Amino acid sequence: MKNISIIGGSGYSGAELLRLLAKRDDIAVKQVIAHTYAGTVISDLYPDLYGRMDSVFEPIDALSNDGVDLIFLAVPSGEAMDIIPKYIGESVRVIDLGGDLRLSSPEAYERYYGKPHSNPGLLDESVYGLPEIYRNDIAAARLIANPGCYPTSVILPLYPLLREGVIGSSGIVINSLSGTSGAGRKAVLDLSFSEVNENVRAYRITDHQHIPEMRTVLDNASGRRVSFSFVPHLLPLTRGIYTTIHAPAEESVDERKLNEIYSDYYGSEPFVRLVPRIPRIKDVAGTNYCDIHCTVQRETGQVILLSVIDNILKGAAGQAVQNMNIMFSLPETRGLL
Amino acid sequence: MKNISIIGGSGYSGAELLRLLAKRDDIAVKQVIAHTYAGTVISDLYPDLYGRMDSVFEPIDALSNDGVDLIFLAVPSGEAMDIIPKYIGESVRVIDLGGDLRLSSPEAYERYYGKPHSNPGLLDESVYGLPEIYRNDIAAARLIANPGCYPTSVILPLYPLLREGVIGSSGIVINSLSGTSGAGRKAVLDLSFSEVNENVRAYRITDHQHIPEMRTVLDNASGRRVSFSFVPHLLPLTRGIYTTIHAPAEESVDERKLNEIYSDYYGSEPFVRLVPRIPRIKDVAGTNYCDIHCTVQRETGQVILLSVIDNILKGAAGQAVQNMNIMFSLPETRGLL
Amino acid sequence: MKNISIIGGSGYSGAELLRLLAKRDDIAVKQVIAHTYAGTVISDLYPDLYGRMDSVFEPIDALSNDGVDLIFLAVPSGEAMDIIPKYIGESVRVIDLGGDLRLSSPEAYERYYGKPHSNPGLLDESVYGLPEIYRNDIAAARLIANPGCYPTSVILPLYPLLREGVIGSSGIVINSLSGTSGAGRKAVLDLSFSEVNENVRAYRITDHQHIPEMRTVLDNASGRRVSFSFVPHLLPLTRGIYTTIHAPAEESVDERKLNEIYSDYYGSEPFVRLVPRIPRIKDVAGTNYCDIHCTVQRETGQVILLSVIDNILKGAAGQAVQNMNIMFSLPETRGLL
Amino acid sequence: MKNISIIGGSGYSGAELLRLLAKRDDIAVKQVIAHTYAGTVISDLYPDLYGRMDSVFEPIDALSNDGVDLIFLAVPSGEAMDIIPKYIGESVRVIDLGGDLRLSSPEAYERYYGKPHSNPGLLDESVYGLPEIYRNDIAAARLIANPGCYPTSVILPLYPLLREGVIGSSGIVINSLSGTSGAGRKAVLDLSFSEVNENVRAYRITDHQHIPEMRTVLDNASGRRVSFSFVPHLLPLTRGIYTTIHAPAEESVDERKLNEIYSDYYGSEPFVRLVPRIPRIKDVAGTNYCDIHCTVQRETGQVILLSVIDNILKGAAGQAVQNMNIMFSLPETRGLL
Split at pLDDT 50, 70, 90, the class of B77 is confident
DSSP state of D271: S
B112 touches chain C (CB under 8 A): no
CB pair distance less than 8 Å for D197 and C197: yes
**A309 interaction partners in chain C (CB closer than 8 Å):** none
**B192 interaction partners in chain A (CB closer than 8 Å):** 180, 185-188, 191-193
Q: What is the pLDDT of residue A89?
A: 86
Interface test mutation site (partner D, options B25, B40, B45, B48, max chain D beta carbons within 10 A): B48
- Chains within contact range of chain D (3+ C-beta pairs < 8 Å): A, B, C
CA distance A132 to D11: 48
Distances (CA, A) of D25 to A196, D28, D171, D334, D335: 36, 7, 48, 11, 10
Q: Out of A132-136, B270-274, D295-299, D332-336, which region has the weakest mean confidence (pLDDT)?
A: D295-299
**CA-derived radius of gyration, chain D:** 20
- B129 pLDDT above the threshold of 90: yes
Estimate the crossing angle of helix B106-113 against helix B211-222, to 10 degrees. 140
- A223 pLDDT above the threshold of 90: yes
CA distance C263 to C250: 19
Backbone angles phi, psi at B306, to 5 degrees: -120, 130
Distances (CA, A) of D33 to A109, A304, B219, D4, D111: 63, 42, 50, 12, 30
CB pair distance less than 8 Å for C200 and B238: no
pLDDT digits 0-9 by tens, D55-92: 999 999 999 989 999 999 999 989 999 999 999 988 99
Q: Of A123, A149, A156, A237, which is the active-site residue?
A: A149
Q: What is the dihedral of CA C148, C150, C151, C155, to 10 degrees?
A: 150
Sheet bearing C172-178, strands edge to edge: C201-202, C228-234, C172-178, C241-248, C302-309, C290-297, C272-274
Nearest CB neighbour to C284, from listed A48, A52, A337: A48
- Chains within contact range of chain C (3+ C-beta pairs < 8 Å): A, B, D
Q: Which residues have CB under 8 Å from A231's CB, separation 6+?
A: A174, A175, A176, A202, A205, D244, D246, D304
Among candidate residues D283, D331, D314, D322, the one with its CA nearest the CA of residue D13: D314
pLDDT digits 0-9 by tens, D250-283: 988 999 999 999 999 999 999 999 999 999 999 9
Average pLDDT score over residue span C235-242: 98
**What's the whole-number average pLDDT of chain A?**
96
Query: Which residue blocks in chain D are alpha helix, DSSP H?
Result: 12-22, 42-45, 80-87, 106-113, 120-125, 131-140, 149-163, 193-196, 211-222, 255-266, 318-327
Whether C211 and C274 have beta carbons less than 8 Å apart is answered as: no
pLDDT digits 0-9 by tens, D203-231: 999 889 999 999 999 999 999 999 999 99
Its sign, for the CA torsion D126, D129, D134, D137, is positive
Q: What is the pLDDT of residue C151?
A: 98
CA distance A192 to A171: 35
ipTM for the predicted complex: 0.96
CB pair distance less than 8 Å for B287 and D48: yes
pLDDT digits 0-9 by tens, A39-78: 999 999 999 999 899 999 999 999 998 999 999 999 998 9
Whether D102 and D209 have beta carbons less than 8 Å apart is answered as: no
CA distance C193 to D186: 10
* Minimal CA separation from B36 to chain C, in Å: 30
Among candidate residues C141, C199, C148, C202, the one with its CA nearest the CA of residue C177: C202
pLDDT digits 0-9 by tens, A99-145: 999 998 999 999 999 999 999 999 999 999 999 999 999 999 999 99
Percentage helix, strand, coil for chain B under 3-state DSSP, each rounded to 5: 35, 25, 40
Average pLDDT score over residue span D110-126: 94
DSSP state of A56: B
CA distance A310 to A241: 6
D196 touches chain C (CB under 8 A): yes
CA distance C100 to C33: 19
Distances (CA, A) of C114 to C73, C78, C99, C107, C211: 21, 10, 12, 10, 14
Split at pLDDT 50, 70, 90, the class of A152 is very high
Whether B198 and A238 have beta carbons less than 8 Å apart is answered as: yes
Distance of CA B295 to the CA centre of its chain: 25
**B310 interaction partners in chain A (CB closer than 8 Å):** none
CA distance D259 to D293: 9
Whether A184 and A99 have beta carbons less than 8 Å apart is answered as: no
Backbone angles phi, psi at C60, to 5 degrees: -65, -25
Nearest CB neighbour to A337, from listed C23, C47, C279: C23
Backbone angles phi, psi at B22, to 5 degrees: -65, -25
CB pair distance less than 8 Å for C242 and B200: yes
Q: Which residues have CB under 8 Å from C25's CB, separation 6+?
A: none
Estimate the crossing angle of helix C318-327 against helix C12-22, to 10 degrees. 50
Active site residue A290: no
Q: Which residues have CB under 8 Å from D45's CB, separation 6+?
A: D10, D15, D37, D57
pLDDT digits 0-9 by tens, C23-71: 999 999 999 999 899 999 999 999 999 999 999 999 999 999 899 999 9
* Minimal CA separation from C123 to chain B, in Å: 25
Coil, strand or helix at D291: strand
**CA-derived radius of gyration, chain A:** 20
CA distance A132 to A148: 15
CB pair distance less than 8 Å for D299 and A236: no
Q: How many CB pairs under 8 A join A and C?
A: 42
Q: What is the pLDDT of residue D298?
A: 86
D304 touches chain C (CB under 8 A): no
CA distance D332 to D131: 10
Go through chain A and tell me how many residues it has. 337
**C197 interaction partners in chain D (CB closer than 8 Å):** 180, 193, 197, 236-238
CB pair distance less than 8 Å for C187 and D189: yes
Q: Which residues have CB under 8 Å from D298's CB, separation 6+?
A: none
B189 touches chain A (CB under 8 A): yes
Whether C155 and C284 have beta carbons less than 8 Å apart is answered as: no
Q: What is the pLDDT of residue D89?
A: 86
Q: What is the pLDDT of residue B47?
A: 94
D282 touches chain A (CB under 8 A): yes
**C234 interaction partners in chain B (CB closer than 8 Å):** none
Whether A42 and A9 have beta carbons less than 8 Å apart is answered as: yes
Sheet bearing A290-297, strands edge to edge: A201-202, A228-234, A172-178, A241-248, A302-309, A290-297, A272-274
Burial class (CB in 10 A: 0-12, 13-18, 19+), B162: buried
CB pair distance less than 8 Å for A282 and C198: no
CA distance D322 to D313: 10
Among candidate residues B234, B228, B232, the one with its CA nearest the CA of residue B192: B234
pLDDT digits 0-9 by tens, D156-165: 999 999 999 9
* Minimal CA separation from C94 to chain B, in Å: 33
CA distance D127 to A286: 49
A47 touches chain B (CB under 8 A): no
CA distance C96 to C147: 9
Q: What is the pLDDT of residue D151?
A: 98
CA distance B135 to D183: 45
B175's enclosing H/E stretch is: strand B172-178
| B70-73 and D290-297 beta bridge pairing | unpaired
B204 — alpha (psi -120 to 50), left (phi > 0) or beta?
left
Whether A226 and A135 have beta carbons less than 8 Å apart is answered as: no
Count Cα atoms within 13 angstroms, Cβ side, for C326.
26
Residue of C nearest to A337 (CA): C23
CA distance A144 to A153: 18
pLDDT digits 0-9 by tens, A161-188: 999 999 999 999 999 999 999 999 999 9
Split at pLDDT 50, 70, 90, the class of B267 is very high
Q: What is the pLDDT of residue B265?
A: 98
**What's the whole-number average pLDDT of chain D?**
96
pLDDT digits 0-9 by tens, A244-270: 999 999 988 999 999 999 999 999 999
Q: What is the pLDDT of residue A252?
A: 84
**What's the whole-number average pLDDT of chain B?**
96
CB pair distance less than 8 Å for A194 and B181: yes
Go through chain C and tell me how many residues it has. 337
Q: Which residues have CB under 8 Å from B268's CB, separation 6+?
A: none
Average pLDDT score over residue span C231-236: 98
Q: What is the pLDDT of residue A90?
A: 83
- Chains within contact range of chain A (3+ C-beta pairs < 8 Å): B, C, D
**A275 interaction partners in chain C (CB closer than 8 Å):** 47, 50
Average pLDDT score over residue span C316-334: 98
CA distance D172 to D249: 10
- C90 pLDDT above the threshold of 90: no
Q: Which residues pair with A234 in a beta bridge?
A: A178, A201
Residue of A nearest to C270 (CA): A51
Among candidate residues A88, A185, A90, A107, the one with its CA nearest the CA of residue A145: A88
- D247 pLDDT above the threshold of 90: yes
Split at pLDDT 50, 70, 90, the class of B252 is confident
**B50 interaction partners in chain D (CB closer than 8 Å):** 273, 275, 283, 291
Q: What is the pLDDT of residue A299?
A: 85
Coil, strand or helix at B68: coil
Q: Which residues have CB under 8 Å from D77's CB, separation 6+?
A: D98, D99, D100, D113, D209
Q: Of C149, C158, C177, C308, which is the active-site residue?
A: C149
CA distance A101 to A95: 10
Residue of C nearest to D240 (CA): C194
